[in-house]
């Protein structure tokens, strides 16, 4: 089976600042993988490279076997339709209702009639446990509700891959547990591939199948969460121990 996503000897630099160098990573269909690493070590660059926002300096990035670097703009747009993203701050449009926020990618990518859009919005809100709030405005939602509406929008187009950018940042323990449970439930119900970028190691261990650590410009550790816990690598041990204790990625 072809991996959903492959980074093959990928390098990316900004001037003299080399962020990634000969980085390799393979992500399989249906798994949840968590990308960890210190601030400024390349996690955001990894996401932007995957989405085609940035282009790699060297190496190949493959999405379902297709080289992202060779894609025309229309192909990039088509690929992004297969990728849902939950942004760190939910990134809802303040001037739109909840329903309008969730419907936004549907109207951007599909020629659905309003009745079908309304049905999809209702179904996605049910999946995140927020039925009946279609007409509410983002300003009237709690932080946890905003994250879940953002997640409903991320799955609106029935993506193959969901990217979670710091999904639990700013949430209280109850909402953190709720988001973690949703990540696991949606992966099972929708059979999606989930990529979680986080500093919250406690949450990471709850949701993930594998962990990939970015350090020294590459993925220096890739393994299961049990392998991460048992790793003798001081970088892995120090990062996990520090994050579990402080939640600080600095």
User: Facing residues of 7 across strands?
Assistant: 25, 61
Which pair of structure tokens corresponds to residue 179? 């988001």
Most confident of 4-8, 172-176, 182-186, 225-229: 4-8
- Could you report the per-residue pLDDT of 231-248, keeping only the tens digit for each? 888 888 887 776 544 443
Section 157-177 average pLDDT = 91
* Residue 186 CB neighbour total at 10 angstroms: 20
CA distances to 32, 58, 110, 179 from 24, in Å: 17, 12, 34, 29
Say if residues 103 and 130 touch (Cβ distance below 8 Å). no
Section 126-135 average pLDDT = 94
**d(Cα 24, Cα 11) in Å, to the nearest integer?**
10
What does the domain layout of the chain look like in residue ranges? Answer: 1-82+196-250
Say if residues 150 and 104 touch (Cβ distance below 8 Å). no
Does residue 249 have a pLDDT over 60? no
* CATH for the stretch 1-82+196-250: 3.40.50.300
- Could you report the per-residue pLDDT of 52-107, keeping only the tens digit for each? 999 999 999 999 999 999 999 999 989 998 999 998 777 889 999 999 999 999 99
Share of the chain above pLDDT 70, in %: 96
Can you give the pLDDT at residue 250? 32
């Amino acid at each position: 089976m072809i991996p959903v996503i492959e980074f093959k000897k990928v390098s990316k630099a900004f001037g003299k600042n080399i962020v990634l160098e000969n980085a390799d990573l393979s992500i399989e269909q249906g798994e949840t993988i968590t990308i960890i690493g210190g601030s400024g070590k390349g996690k955001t660059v990894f996401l932007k490279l995957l989405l085609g926002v940035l282009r790699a300096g060297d190496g190949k990035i493959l999405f379902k076997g297709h080289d992202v670097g060779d894609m025309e703009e229309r192909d990039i747009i088509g690929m992004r339709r297969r990728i849902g993203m939950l942004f760190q701050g939910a990134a809802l449009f303040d001037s739109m209702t909840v329903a309008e926020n969730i419907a936004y990618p549907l109207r951007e990518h599909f020629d659905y009639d309003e009745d079908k859009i309304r049905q999809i919005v209702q179904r996605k809100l049910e999946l995140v446990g927020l039925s009946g709030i279609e007409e509410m405005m983002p300003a009237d939602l709690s932080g946890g509700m905003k994250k879940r509406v953002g997640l409903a929008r991320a799955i609106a187009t029935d993506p193959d891959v969901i990217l979670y950018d710091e999904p639990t940042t700013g949430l209280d323990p109850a909402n953190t547990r709720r988001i973690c449970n949703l990540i696991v439930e949606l992966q099972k119900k929708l059979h999606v591939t989930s990529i979680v970028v986080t500093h919250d190691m406690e949450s990471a261990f709850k949701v993930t199948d594998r962990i990939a650590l970015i350090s020294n410009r590459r993925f220096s550790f890739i393994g299961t969460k049990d392998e991460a816990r048992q790793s003798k690598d001081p970088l892995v041990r120090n990062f996990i121990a520090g994050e579990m204790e402080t939640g600080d990625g600095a």
